[in-house]
Amino acid sequence: MNRIVLISCVKSKLDHPARAEHLYISPLFKYNLAYARKLKPNHIFILSAKYGLLRLTDKIAPYEKTLKTMPVAERRAWAKSVLVKLSKYASLSNDDFIFLAGDSYLEYLIPQIQHYQIPFEGVSFGNQLKALKKLVGSL
């Protein structure tokens, strides 16, 4: 069984194209990524509202898009495209997925995945950041 970590994108980004792992610059994203790496997963991916499933090394341009304001049909289509890409790297029925993402990212993904964890489910961003700093240490 592989371990896959999925991190949601964030609003704060560089103002120029960059590798996905560097484009997102908020402290929460940086700590989520550090925590994900500490888990030593087989894969880490970013869930992007615009680009769908991203590898850390994918080079992308900055954008302004969020799942929170997308209509239901668009969020469902987004999730379907993410699942199609994800199934190229992982088994949706056998692998273990760890989501470091909010409800809008999980809504249509979770029902299609057998084994998953949401370590910070229901925890505010501020409290997530505090917990991550304890788990990871300073960056």
Which tokens sit at 44? 């880490």
Domain boundaries along the sequence of the chain: 6-136
Alpha-carbon gap, residue 77 to 120, rounded angstroms = 25
Res 109: pLDDT: 97
43 pairs with which residues across the strands? 4
Res 81: pLDDT: 98
Res 139: pLDDT: 78
Please provide the average confidence, as pLDDT, over all residues in the chain. 96
Res 125: pLDDT: 87
| Radius of gyration from C-alpha coordinates of the chain | 14
Res 28: pLDDT: 95
Which tokens sit at 121? 């489910």
The backbone region for 122, taken as left when phi is positive above 0, alpha when psi lies in -120 to 50, beta otherwise, is left
Identify which of 6, 59, 64 has the alpha carbon closest to the alpha carbon of residue 32.
Answer: 6
Res 138: pLDDT: 82
On whether the pTM is more than 0.85, the answer is yes
Tell me the three state secondary structure of residue 55: strand
Res 78: pLDDT: 98
pLDDT mean values, one per 10 residues, the chain (139 residues): 96 97 97 97 97 98 93 97 97 97 94 96 91 90
The rounded percent of the chain whose pLDDT value lies above 70 is 100
Alpha-carbon gap, residue 137 to 130, rounded angstroms = 10
Assess contact for 67 and 75: CB atoms under 8 A: yes
